[in-house]
Amino acid sequence: MLKSFQIGGVHPAENKLSAQKAIEVLPLPKTVFIPVGQHIGAPAESIVQKGDQVKVGQLIAKSSGFVSANIHSSVSGKVTKVETGPDTSGYPKKGVYIDVEDDVWDEKIDRSPELNAEITLDATAILAKIQDAGIVGLGGATFPTHVKLVPPKGMKADVLLINGVECEPYLTSDHRMMLEHTEELIVGVQLLMKALNVNRAAIGIENNKRDAISKIIKTAYRHTNISVVPLKVKYPQGGEKQLIKAVTGREIASGALPISVGAVVTNIATTFAVYEAVQKNKPLFERVVTVTGKSLANPSNFKVRIGTSIGELINAAGGLPENCGKIINGGPMMGKAVTNTEIPVTKGTSGIVMMPETEAKRGETMPCIRCSRCVSVCPMGLEPFLLMTVSEKQIWDRAEYERVMDCIECGSCSYTCPANRPLLDYIRLGKGKVGALIRTRKN
């Protein structure tokens, strides 16, 4: 019996169309737009001006607080303007436009392809490198990694979990990374363990990636303190709380952080970025993005410079399909739909999924038939139908009492609702309102 979280969960069609496609390097774009706010927390402050010449890996925006992250140039060339540009939210966001000229890298970056497995730095130095490199959680949440690696006072981590679950349908970038960069990943895990001062790490991988599981087991056998945990294929197995529960059996109390049970979770792509930052001096300026869709000619995994427009990615994968009705930045369960293809790839872009018109629209909303499927699939043991009703009627105290803040927005309820009710739409609204109310109460 494979390990898994117990409550709820769904199993959407996996559609991992690009699982067998090796990671390709996307040709350099002509221009890039690098937003300064690519992470949770305060946006970075841009330190370049129009006309500045920049190199690949050069710092262009500086972290503006503890919960913030540095932004580096992903290309070499000339800064054309520092202005607002397109964003997934539709609201213009500030960023740096750069015209690409050549491909001149910062001298500090070690571009050799050889593995550097020798760990010479101590925990503080590793943390400093991670912070300098602007590494954030690359699974989509984009929480600055250096913040996560420093437990709050009085708390101590005792296990590091690496999230290789990739439970979102369609996405395959982490899967490919585990296959193609296995050794680097193991070094990355060791670096993170050293930074956290823990002596145990576990890599959780969904059982639909058998090749990755066996490859990592083969590579990591020398490291007895790193274990690989195959997990049942069930969404949202990769949710932080669900993963910790599945791998360690520990359950995070409502409202508490993972560190409260001694666990820190980072994702595969982040671990690889940590390896590159610490061992190769390479800041985070490129990432692997899955470009996929049922009617896309050539679903692929691309290594892309941050700031490249998603249109370039789509063209490289065979062009926008004729029947494309929706483009999703991220996976289909939690990603965000975008309005146009000029939106840049950011640190949090794990995939671009194109949905055909036939699947882009939701079905007709019917009255709730009280089938209780939303309750049975909710991985947090909540009652989505009730949360939706109280959020719609704006009964915020009841929403709080029914634990709306516990919702992890995984979307299992809306996915499964036979009446096509917009459960998560309203729950998210309620979560926002209740969160704001709680904050004002604290102040």
Told to check if 29 binds another protein by CB under 8 A, we report: no
Look at strands 226-231 and 23-25 and give their pairing.
unpaired
Residue 408 Cβ vs another protein, minimum distance, rounded to whole Å = 9
User: Which tokens sit at 313?
Assistant: 């990615």
In angstroms, rounded to a whole number, what is the distance separating the alpha carbons of residues 35 and 44? 9
- Of 19-27, 155-163, 208-216, 359-367, the segment contacting another protein by CB under 8 A is 359-367
Told to check if 130 binds another protein by CB under 8 A, we report: no
In angstroms, rounded to a whole number, what is the distance separating the alpha carbons of residues 232 and 219? 22
Smaller CB separation from another protein, 197 or 365:
365
Are 204 and 227 in contact by the 8 Å Cβ rule? The answer is no
In angstroms, rounded to a whole number, what is the distance separating the alpha carbons of residues 81 and 347? 21
Residue 325 Cβ vs another protein, minimum distance, rounded to whole Å = 5
Residue 183 Cβ vs another protein, minimum distance, rounded to whole Å = 35
Cα-based distances in Å from 234 to 242, 364, 385:
10, 27, 22
Number of residues that bind another protein (CB under 8 A): 81
Applying CB under 8 A, among 17, 385, 399, 404 the residue interacting with another protein is 385
Residue 319 Cβ vs another protein, minimum distance, rounded to whole Å = 13
Helices (H), 286-372: 310-316, 357-360
**Residues of this chain, 78-117, that bind another protein according to CB under 8 A:** 88-92
C-alpha triplet 128, 42, 289: angle, nearest 5°:
75
Smaller CB separation from another protein, 26 or 333:
333
Told to check if 324 binds another protein by CB under 8 A, we report: yes
Told to check if 33 binds another protein by CB under 8 A, we report: no
In angstroms, rounded to a whole number, what is the distance separating the alpha carbons of residues 305 and 303? 7
Applying CB under 8 A, among 177, 212, 382, 390 the residue interacting with another protein is 382
- Of 45-53, 208-216, 224-232, 423-431, the segment contacting another protein by CB under 8 A is 423-431
C-alpha triplet 189, 191, 195: angle, nearest 5°:
115
Residue 201 Cβ vs another protein, minimum distance, rounded to whole Å = 24
Nearest to 184 by CA among 280, 109, 105, 287: 280
What's 235's DSSP letter? B
User: Which tokens sit at 115?
Assistant: 């593995």
Are 415 and 376 in contact by the 8 Å Cβ rule? The answer is no
In angstroms, rounded to a whole number, what is the distance separating the alpha carbons of residues 180 and 23? 8
Applying CB under 8 A, among 401, 435, 436, 438 the residue interacting with another protein is 401
Residue 169 Cβ vs another protein, minimum distance, rounded to whole Å = 7
In angstroms, rounded to a whole number, what is the distance separating the alpha carbons of residues 162 and 229? 10
Are 4 and 281 in contact by the 8 Å Cβ rule? The answer is no
Residue 364 Cβ vs another protein, minimum distance, rounded to whole Å = 9
Smaller CB separation from another protein, 43 or 379:
379
- Of 100-108, 124-132, 186-194, 412-420, the segment contacting another protein by CB under 8 A is 412-420
Number of residues that this document lists for the chain: 443
Smaller CB separation from another protein, 27 or 319:
319
Applying CB under 8 A, among 253, 439, 440, 441 the residue interacting with another protein is 253
Contact mark string toward another protein, 327..356, x via CB under 8 A: xx-x-xxxxxxxxx------------x-x-
- Of 58-66, 130-138, 194-202, 324-332, the segment contacting another protein by CB under 8 A is 324-332
Nearest to 204 by CA among 161, 143, 150: 161
**Residues of this chain, 144-173, that bind another protein according to CB under 8 A:** 169
